[in-house]
A and B are shown apart, each in its own frame.
Chain A
Amino acid sequence: MTVAPLAAPSRSLVRRGGSGVDFAGGGLTLLTGFAAFLIVAMVAVIVGNIVWFGWRTVTWEFLVGSPREGMTAGGIFPAIFGTVALVVLMIVALIPIGVGAAIYLHEYARPESWFTRAVRFAVNNLAGVPSIVFGLFGLGFFIQFVGRAIDHNLGLDVVWGQPALMWAALTLALLNLPVVIVTTEEAFRTVPRDMREASLALGASRWQTVRYVLLPQAMPGILTGAILSVSRGAGEVAPILFTGAAYFLPYLPTSPTDQFMELGYHVFVMATQSPDVDATRPILYGTVLVLLLITFMLNLTAILLRARLRARLAGRG
C-alpha cells in the first residue's frame, strides 16, 4: 500500500458524505434491522401463541397424570419422565465420548496423520447427516446388530434387541457428538499456551496437564456443547422414532431396555393421530409449553453453572 497524502482522508470522508452514500447506508440499516426484527417477531409469535393457548392446560394434574381416553384427556407425566430420562442418559453417554475425542484431537493426534484427518472428516460429515438417518442407523446398528448380539450371547429372548430408552439415548448422543467435539476442542484451543507451559515446566505429565489445567479451564466451553445438545436432544423426534419412543405406554420405563414416551413424539402423535382434534388441542398446546419449559430449565441450569465456572476462572468468587 502506498502512503496517501495527509490531507486526503479527511477530504474523501467529506465527499463520501455528500454523494448519496449516506442514503444507501440508511436503507441498509433499515433492511438489516428489519431482518433482525423478524427474528424477534417470530420468536415472540411462537412463544406467545404457545403460552397463550397452553398455560391454562398446565395444571398439577396435567403434569403428574397419565393420558386417558385416547389422549383426549388426562396428563403427560410419562412423556415428561421419558424425556428427562432420555436426555440424562444421552448426556451420560455423550460427554465422555465427545470430550475424549476432543482431547485426543487436540492433545495427542498428529495433525497431518491420515487417522486424524479421517476423524475430522467423520466429525464434519456426521454433523451434516439428517436426523432421520440417525434414527434408521440406531435401529439397524444398536437394535438389530448390537442388541440382538447381546440377547443371542446371553441366551435371552428379546430384551436388548428391541427399541429401548438406552438405544434412543445412544442414537441421540451420536447425533450430538459433533457439537460436543467441536465446542470442546474450541475450548481447549482458547486456553492460553502459557498455562500448558507452566504446568509442564512444573513436572506435570501431559495427561496431568490435560486433566488438571486444560480441562478445568475448558469446562465452560464443554458446558456450551452440553447445552446445545440438550436443547437438540430434548426436541428431536426423528432419531427416537424407531429406536425407543412409544405411542402410548400405561407404565413408566424402569430400565434402560424399556420403551418410553417422549414429549416431542407425543406432540406428533396427538397432532396426527387424535380421534378428537378439538378435545386434543389444549393438551397439545400444554404439552408443547411443557417441552419448552423443560428445555429452558435444563439450559438455564447449565448456563448458571457455566457462569459460575467462568467467574471462578476469572478470579471472581
Chain B
Amino acid sequence: MSVTVDMRDPKSGESSVPPGATAAGGIAGALAAREAADAERADAPASKDGAARPGAPGAGASLEARGFSLYYGTHQALKSVSLEMPGHSVTAIIGPSGCGKSTLLRSFNRMNDLIPGVRTEGEIRVAGVDVLRGSVDVVDLRRRVGMIFQRPNPFPKSIFENVAFGLRMLGLKDRRDLEARVEESLKRAALWEEVKDRLSRSALQLSGGQQQRLCIARGLAVEPDVILMDEPASALDPTATARIEELIISLKAHYTIAVVTHNMQQAARVSDRTAFMLSGELIEYDETRRLFTRPRQKITEDYITGRFG
C-alpha cells in the first residue's frame, strides 16, 4: 500500500511544502528522503560536530512510562500508558489535539507539577530511576531533562544571557568558561554563525526560527541527557521547520529526544520510533517506518491516512 495522502495540518500550515520531502510528497516521500539521509550520514566518518562530547559522556538516558495515568482533577488525561524510549534515539509522539501527547511529554520532566489538582498513578522512569518519587530533586531532574516549547520563549535578555541562563543558575560565574559554553551550545544548535557578532543584542530581535534554535541552545547549555520537544516547529515557517528538523536529527547522537508533533511527515522524517496516542491511550508504538507503512491497528491507519484527526 502506498500512502500518498496529502497530510493537511490546518493549524500549523507547515505541511504545504514539506521540507526535506521533495517530489515524492507525503509520508512515503518523507520516509524515503529520511533513508537516503541516514545512509549518507552513515558513510560520513565521524559527524562534523565531533562525536566526543566533553564533560558529559553518559548522556542519552532512556525514558520509560509504566502503567502511567494522569488526572486533571477528575478528568483522566492519560490512561495507563506504558512505553520505553531507548537512549540516543528520536521518538515521535503523534495524535489528534487533546489526546494527551503533550501531557505525557511534560510528565518526563514533571512540568505538570505546576498545574494544581494533577494526580498521577504508575511510574515515569528516566535512566531507570522513578522520578515521581518524593525523594527525587525536581530541579535536578529538569536540568537533566530539557524541554523545548511550542512557542519560542526566549527571555527578554541578550542572546548571550539566554544561553548562559541555566549555567548561571548552576552557579557558573567564570566569564571565559561561560563564553566557551555559550559558543559551544550555539554551535550545536546551528545558530552560532548567525549570531556570533551580536551576542549582546536582545534575543527578541531574532526571527521565530532563530529564537527556537536559541531556546534549543539554551537547553543544551546545561548539558541535559534528554530533550523533550513539544511541537517545536509548529509556530515556524517551512524553512525554519526544516532547520529544526535537521537539528533534531543531528542532536540524536548525544541526546535522547522525544518530539510531540501534529505533523506526521515530520514524525516520519526525524524519528526512529513513533507513538500514536488517542484519548489518553497509547494505541500503537513501533518503529517509525513500520508504524507508517504497516500499522497494526486499523485506527492508526485511519489516522495516518488522514481519515480523522
Residues of A bordering B, CB below 8 Å: 192, 194-205, 208, 212-213, 216-217, 312-316
Contacts and interface: CB of A to CB of B under 8 A. Distances in A.
B219 A202 contact: yes
A202 B169 contact: yes
Contact of B169 (A205, A314, A316): A205
B144 to A, nearest CB: 8
Contacts of A198: 149, 153-155, 215, 218
B88 interface: no
B165 A202 contact: yes
A315 B202 contact: yes
Given A203-B142, A315-B204, 14 more contacts: A192-B153, A195-B155, A197-B153, A198-B218, A200-B114, A201-B109, A201-B111, A201-B219, A202-B166, A202-B218, A203-B140, A203-B169, A204-B165, A217-B156
A311 to B, nearest CB: 10
Contacts of A313: 156
Contacts of B202: 312, 315-316
Contact of A201 (B146, B151, B154, B168): B146
Contacts of B215: 198
Interface in B141-169: 142-144, 146-147, 149, 151, 153-157, 165-166, 168-169
A303 B125 CA distance: 51
The interface centre, meaning the residue of A204, A216, A313 with most chain B CB atoms within 10 A of its CB, is: A204
A178 B271 CA distance: 54
A203 B111 CA distance: 11
Given A202-B165, A315-B202, A197 B149 contact: yes
A34 B253 CA distance: 71
Nearest to A217: B156
Interface string B186-207: 0000000000000000111100
A203 B156 CA distance: 18
10 contacts: A196-B114, A197-B111, A197-B147, A197-B149, A198-B153, A199-B155, A202-B218, A202-B222, A203-B142, A312-B202
Nearest to B148: A201
B139 interface: yes
A315 B146 CA distance: 25
- A-B interface, 6 closest residue pairs, ranked by CB to CB distance from nearest: A203-B143, A315-B204, A315-B202, A201-B147, A202-B166, A194-B153
Interface string B165-178: 11011100000000
B218 A194 contact: no
Contacts of A196: 114
The interface centre, meaning the residue of A202, A208, A213, A313 with most chain B CB atoms within 10 A of its CB, is: A202
A55 B202 CA distance: 45
B169 A208 contact: yes
A201 B156 contact: no
Given A202-B142, A202-B143, A194 B166 contact: no
B146 to A, nearest CB: 7
Contact of B222 (A192, A200, A203, A314): A203
Contacts of B168: 212
B165 A201 contact: no
Contacts of B151: 194
A312 B156 contact: yes
A209 to B, nearest CB: 9
A41 B254 CA distance: 70
Contacts of B165: 199, 202, 204, 212
Contact of A205 (B139, B156, B157, B222): B139
B257 to A, nearest CB: 15
B163 to A, nearest CB: 10
